[in-house]
Structure 1
Amino acid sequence: MKIVIVTGGSRGLGASTALECARRGMGVIVTYNLNPEKAADVVKAIEGISGTAVALKLDVGNSQSFPAFREAVSRQLDTIWHRKMFDFLVNNAGFGLYAPISDVTEAQFDGLFDVHLKGPFFLTQTLLPLIEDGGHVINVTSATSRVATAGVAPYAAFKGGLQVLTRYMAKEFAERRIRANSIAPGAIRTELGGGLNDEFEAILAAQTALGRVGEPDDVGGVIASLLSEENRWINAQNIEVAGGYLI
């Protein structure tokens, strides 16, 4: 059995990814920060389809907590799956902020940086000794790094940086045959950044070739599929999953 860690797996894209991975027979470790009840619901849903899962607390914005998290992962791997290592890491956890550059505070900038770029960098570094050779790291980025959308400059800049980091991961982890790719969702109906109101959703749908905003399952299935053996030759790529947003 392959084992995947999905950060931010208590809701939205992370929850969908966790369930899709479980449907494909993977053991799942989901992380949460502020929503233990929702994380427990995801674990229960996975168990409901005869899967195995566990939820662990993780603040991706606090890199000092990563060594303790690695120890918690090791304990769960041994207890639940009788393994010392896992196979896949999905760096998904994140949050949104809508503000023009002129209004962004340094604290807001630093918070976004810690979660969207620094966090994935050092979490991957911390967990790398536990990733099996031939494993896979997927970083969730954003279509906003391709299309300039007013009000999300820091978020988009760090997601763009994460795309670059993904290529370097693919290069440097290649000696262990660990692949690295990134997935860039477009507008998705989730709670990120407070969610979408009807007016903004209509605008985004009109800018998307398929005529609607995405749902979490539109992306979760792609991530789970990319982890499969059938996609073993895809590496160092940023794959936009956006329904044809502003093409």
Structure 2
Amino acid sequence: MTNSTRPIALVTGGSRGLGRNTAFNLARKGIDVVITYRSRADEAKAAVAEIEAAGGRAAALELDAGAVPTFPAFVAALKQTLQSTWQRNRFDFLVNNAGTGLRKTVAETTEEEFDALMNIHLKGVFFLTQALLPLINDGGRIINISSGLARFAVPGSSAYAMMKGGIEVFTRYLAKELGPRGITANTVAPGAIATDFNGGHVRDDADINRMVASVTALGRAGVPDDIGPMIASLLSDDNRWVNAQRIEVSGGMNI
């Protein structure tokens, strides 16, 4: 298969953490990747180099996933990149991964903090997906990233978890409405993962890491390589009949 005929995925927030791991594993599966980054162009450049070293073709575009007014310009840049890099007008897979965290109780959360989370995790995902629908090939796939926190409650995660609960509902509606185009939509919900997300607290705080391990059936916190390969597998043709599902990848957390 040549690069011109390989499927193409767009992974938001693909320059670091779970997004980067996902992009790398997609490349290993024969899928080319466009990643987005918010501000760290150096990290995005390094991620592109890593993907290309794995045999794939990749590009990186800047995107503020919470700034809906910037989406038309992003779509225009994506069109130009698809044409210049792949001589194509459309892509195949969308992974809505970009996001930030917040660790505050209901009593402590400000309206500004709530709105920032909503813009990135809920409103942004809705309207970016809407803007990209004309560019997704019929028969394509959409994966939205949720969280185990939408199923179980951990104090200090209410606002973030609310947004992820909304994404899970949104995913089911996408599956229903895009069915006539043969496009599937599923949610992947990671458990606690040791990355730099949310200040790196699962990775760097030994007490939190031990707590996560104690409530996880497999006895440890997750790592990025527990998630990226699963997403890549979900986008393979072997899983073409999986649709409108919430798939938790948490090692059996809080069961």
The TM-score with structure 2 as length reference comes to 0.96
Shift in Å, 1:49 = 1.7
Q: Secondary structure at the match of 1:15?
A: helix
Q: List aligned pairs for 1:13-28, cutoff 5 A.
A: 13-28=18-33
Identity %: 52
> What SS does the aligned partner of 2:107 have?
helix
1:78 partner amino acid = Q
**What residue is the counterpart of 1:242 in the other structure?**
250
Query: Partner of 2:78 in structure 1?
Result: 73
Alignment partners' CA distance in 1, 2:18 and 2:95: 11
Question: What's the TM-score, normalizing by structure 1?
Answer: 0.99
Of 98, 115, 124, 1:119 maps to 124
Runs of 5+ unmatched residues, structure 2: 1-5
Counterpart of 2:150 (choices 145, 149, 161) is 145
What do you get for the CA RMSD once the two structures are aligned?
Answer: 0.6
Within-5 A mapping of 1:112-191: 112-191=117-196
Superposition pairs of residues 196-235 of structure 1, within 5 angstroms: 196=201, 197-235=205-243
**What's the CA shift for 1:42?**
0.5
Q: CA deviation at 1:199?
A: 0.7
Show structure 1 runs of 5+ residues with no match. none
1:55 equivalent in structure 2: 60
Select which of 98, 102, 105 maps to 1:93: 98
CA distance in 2, matches of 1:96, 1:35: 18
Separation of aligned partners in 2, 1:159 and 1:35: 25
Q: CA deviation at 1:40?
A: 0.7
How many correspondences in the alignment? Answer: 247
CA deviation digits over 1:146-197, x for unaligned, max 9?
Answer: 0011001000010011000000000001110100000000000111110121
SS at 1:134's partner residue? strand
User: Which amino acid is 1:5 matched to?
Assistant: L
1:36 shift after superposition? 1.1
What amino acid is aligned across from residue 164 of structure 1 in structure 2? V
